[in-house]
Amino acid sequence: MTGLLDTPPRVITVGAGLFDEALRAQAVPTVPVEWRPPLPGTGEALATVLADPRRRAANELAVGRLLSARPQLVGVRRAAEVLPVRTFLHAGPPITWERASGPMRGALIGAMLLEGLAADADEAADRLAEGAVELRPCHEHAAVGPMAGVVSPSMWLLEVHDAEHGGTAYCSLNEGLGKVLRYGAYGPEVLERLRWMDRVLGPALAAALGRTGPIDLRALMAQALQMGDELHNRNRAATSLLLRALAPAVVEAAPGEAAAVLRFIDGNDHFFLNAGMAAAKVSTDAARDVPGSTLVVAMARNGTDFGVQVSGLGGRWFTGPAGVPDGLYLGSYGPGDANPDIGDSTITETAGLGGFAMAAAPAIVRFVGGEVADAVKATRSMYEIALAEHPAYQIPGLGFRGTPVGIDVTLVARTGLPPVVNTGIAGRVAGTGQVGAGLVRPPVEAFTSALTALADASPQRP
């Protein structure tokens, strides 16, 4: 920038308010920064990471890939085709049976029963405790799963392809609300529904998608945001759009089951969530493994730990204790019934949706505790910790401004603002199911420990 000396400058002031006042007393226009000290103990790591000469270009590359991903729904597959043998997937960072929370245990028990690996819940729990099945995070197998996120061989997975960078990501089929496996319920009605999904829904969707060809999820999600979804806690518009795209093909491909299949999708406002999660996963995966990048590429919870992964740090997890969401409860449930935060659905926030796009979804602001102004404020505050604005995912109420996308761990440490996360709330006791929905605050230590690791990995210290 030249011409500093030509006219009195407009000055950004950061620090002592005295100097801002002194400038305004001279009629010099200022832009005061509401500065506060970074999160405790991060000062030195911040200086190191900010001075890393790779950082700027690395972040541009990484976030550029996240923004340019073109997720397309290309098919559904039975998990048996994707999973290693004797392995179940689960949400969040790695977890053992011993440390698993109620809903995670409930979902794993349900999967054992579904797969015929145990006769009853007690036997299933014993076998899981013995390590009869290996437990691996979805994220390590190009997959994501909402809530407990448990995937076993006879479940079907949505397959999403990134037409720009060539990646693939998977997510299970959404079972609906209430007593469902992902919330840790494993009663007969849960297993019966899963068997119907295996026998009828999966094959019908596979045949239908064979007829439609790839469905452009980037375009569909962009439309849904303009129709009042934020694509985490509200998926009604996106589900409707997907249903429109699929309906004729379902009728043609599976005429005998079409009514049941379409009624099932129509009856579940969150049917699209899983497709959106796979789209977010394939997009954030495109941004992985850029050395020096401080971009968060995954946030996920297993009901015990909240974990993040960062582009410049490969597959390492940085964790902190999962918090209990703050929100509204179903029926007579209350905060005492809530399990700590669980699920891979925070991949939506990682990709600039969900809590980051709250301003797009005024219809659900009360559900997650607040007024429309709070939703706008939540989205606006996320621009402070995001590296970019999404070119396709826009918010009409903010003048079609792109959603804040690409969480930067250095900005989380500097502003002390953790990402805003919308979430469902699972019951604490295995088998209960969903008890509510709300907002949750991720633990900052997940981000600060990632920052420390980035500093340790930096080639030079300033």
Partner 1 sequence: MSGATVLVRPGSYHDSVTLMRVSRAVSALPGVEVAMVAMATALNVSIIEELGFAVPEAGPGDLLVAVRADDPRAAVEEAERHLSAAHRPQAAPEEQRPLTTRSAATAAEDAGLVLVSTPGEHAFAEAYDAIEAGRHVMIFSDGVPVAQERRLKELAEARGVLVMGPDCGTAVIAGAGLGFANVLSPGPVGVVAASGTGAQQVTCLLDRAGAGVSHVLGVGGRDLSAEVGGLSTVRALRMLDDDPGTELIVLVSKPPAPEVARAVRELPLRTPVVPALLREGGTDLTEAAEQALRLLGRPVPEWPAWPAWRGARPAAKRVTGLYSGGTLAAEAALITGSRDIVDFGDDAYTRGRAHPMIDPALRVEALATAGESDVVLMDVVLGHAADPDPAASLAHAVARSPATVVVALIGTEGDPQDLHRQAAAFREAGAAVFTSNAQAARHARSLL
DSSP classification of residue 229? -
Taking the complex as a whole, the smallest distance from the CB of residue 363 to partner 1 amounts, in Å, to 21
Q: How far is the CB of 299 from partner 1 (least distance, A)?
A: 20
157's tokens: 């997975």
Q: Provide, rounded to whole angstroms, the least separation between the CB of residue 414 and partner 1.
A: 6
Kindly provide the b/e burial profile for residues 372-383, where b requires at least 16 CB atoms within 10 angstroms of the residue's own CB: eebbbebbebbb
CB 359, min distance to partner 1, A: 12
Least separation, in Å, of the C-beta of 386 and partner 1?
10
C-alpha distances out from residue 10 to 26, 254, 334, Å: 12, 66, 52
Residue 53 Cβ, how far from partner 1 at the closest point, in Å?
9
Helical H runs in 69-135?
A: 102-114, 121-130
CB of 18 to partner 1, least distance (A): 5
**Tokens 């030079």 belong to residue:** 460
Strands (E), 322-400: 326-329, 342-343, 386-395
CA distances from 215 to 16, 71, 232, 355 (A): 53, 9, 19, 25
**Number of C-beta neighbours around residue 126 at 10 A:** 12
Binding-site ranges for partner 1 (CB under 8 A): 1-26, 28, 31-38, 40, 43, 46-47, 50-51, 56, 377, 380-381, 383-384, 410-411, 414-417, 462
C-alpha 420: how far from chain center: 11
121 Cα distance to chain centroid: 30
* Sequential DSSP letters for 313-338: GTT--EEEEPPPPEEEESTT--GGGB
Rounded to a whole number of angstroms, the minimum distance from the CB of residue 5 to partner 1 is: 5
Secondary structure of residue 225 in the 3-state scheme: helix
- Which of 21/289 has CB closer to partner 1? 21
Instruction: Please say which residue, 417 or 457, places its beta carbon nearer to partner 1.
Output: 417
Q: What is the dihedral of CA 237, 238, 244, 247, to 10 degrees?
A: -120
Burial of 116 (0-12, 13-18, 19+ CB in 10 A): exposed
Nearer to partner 1, 33 or 129 (CB): 33
Minimum CB distance to partner 1, residue 408 (Å): 9
Nearer Cβ to partner 1 (115/384): 384
Smaller CB separation from partner 1, 31 or 119: 31
The helix-helix angle for 273-285 and 236-253 (nearest 10°) equals: 100
